[in-house]
Amino acid sequence: MAKKVTSLDVARLAGVSQSAVSRVFTQGASVSPDMSKRVRAAAETLGYRPNALARGLITGRTKIIGLVVAYLDNPFYPDALEKLSTALQAEGYHLLVFTTGKHGVDTDRVISELLDYQVDGIITASITLSGELTRRCAAAGIPVILFNRGIPGSGLAAVTSDNRAGGRKAAEFLLAGGHARIAHITGFAGASTSRDRRAGFEAALDAAGQGLHAVEDGRYDRATAAEATRRLMDRPDPPDAIFVANDHMALAVMDVLRFDLGLKVPEDVSILGYDDVPMAAWPAYDLTTVRQPTRRMVQATVEELMALLETPTRTARSIEIDGPLVVRGSARLPEGQDR
């Protein structure tokens, strides 16, 4: 196992000082072309690369962003993770990933460990932070961005789709389709996405003078959503349309309807989802759904993060990105509307 090669080794070989080597590898430092050439040559022969840890220790910027994510079985998150990673790499940052597990009990421990690594910023996906943690991050001067969650009144930066508008679009489409008994399967009660989607959905139904026919809790979980579906359809007056709070559950709902209950979608029941995950477009499901524009959400997240890193005093923004309703075949079309 070879010893690590340090800037001092390079300096000796090139016959210059250690600081000269450092400057050659530091963006925007004052170095003559000749010096740069000699140092780079020496570094090349020795295989030298700056130690990111030492650099981070002294500059106070590690170029590491902590990502906290609860689970990855909803395909929306791997997709976002991949795009986030790519976008951050382009800015010279890298992702230190922490998972909290479904139950998310140890979020506090996890964030503490993140702080130990002196991350420059934190992105949380599908995670809600305690006020205590929020304060600790603020005290450490570390910006936090909530991805696909918001905590109203917390003053934390957040990037979501426009969930209220999305819920509204879902309601309007189902109303236009002439549905009479419209039900909803919610996500997780503690999640802003779930609350907002429901609020927008319900408001639009109310505005049309038609209330929500039934509600069940799906907890953003396949099995729970499947149970909820059975309960809904067991009623004496089963719904003729269900708006499901995300695609991940909506696919499970369609499975139950078609394979357990022998019903047809959308002839017997219309299904609407939320997210537009890749699978929603597959012909086996062909799910009508409200798109969350992952690419733009990621882009907004990275931009906001970079802005906060640049200007820590900046007030954090809460960004909502509008997404279209993607009309496919899982919900009855409004009269006269083609796809």
Binding site for DNA (CB under 7 A): 4, 6-8, 16-20, 22-23, 25-26, 29-32, 34-35, 48, 50-51, 54-55, 57-59
Tell me how far apart the alpha carbons of residues 12 and 22 are, in angstroms, rounded to a whole number: 13
Contact partner, 35, from DNA, a second copy, none, Cβ < 5-8 Å per class: DNA
Site string for a second copy, 66-105 (x = CB under 8 A): -x---xxx-x-xxx-xx--xx--x----xxxxxx-x----
Residue 59 lies near a second copy (rule: CB under 8 A): no
CB of residue 64 to DNA, shortest distance in Å: 15
User: Which residues neighbour 243 within 8 Å (Cβ) at sequence distance 6 or greater?
Assistant: 167, 170, 171, 174, 182, 183, 184, 185, 201, 272
Does the footprint of a second copy cover residue 144 (CB under 8 A)?
A: no
Could you please report the per-residue DSSP string of 247-288? HHHHHHHHHIIIIIS---TTTT-EEEEEE--GGGGSTTT--E
d(CA 309, CA 323): 28
The DSSP secondary-structure symbol of 259 reads I
Cβ atoms of residues 23 and 31 within 8 Å: yes
- Report the C-alpha gap between 321 and 223 in whole angstroms: 29
Please give the Cα distance from 244 to 313 (Å, whole number).
39
The verdict on 254 binding a second copy (CB under 8 A) reads yes
Map the footprint of a second copy across residues 280-309, applying CB under 8 A.
282-285
Residue owning tokens 């038609």? 210
Half-sphere exposure of 202 (CA within 13 A, CB side): 14
CB of 261 to a second copy, least distance (A): 12
Closest to a second copy by CB, 203 or 316: 316
Binding at 93: pick from DNA, a second copy, none (beta carbon under 5-8 Å per type): none
- Give the closest residue to 220 by CA, choosing from 275, 285, 146: 275
Q: Which residue has the tokens 């800015």?
A: 91
283 binds, among a second copy, DNA, none (CB under 5 to 8 A by kind): a second copy
Residue type (1 letter), 42: A
Q: Please report whether residue 31 would count as binding a second copy according to CB under 8 A.
A: no
| Residue closer to a second copy (CB basis): 109 or 235 | 109
Cβ closer to a second copy: 136 or 296?
136
Binding site for a second copy (CB under 8 A): 1-2, 4, 47, 49-54, 56-57, 62, 64, 67, 71-73, 75, 77-79, 81-82, 85-86, 89, 94-99, 101, 110, 112-113, 115-118, 136, 139-141, 251, 254-255, 258-259, 278-279, 282-285, 312
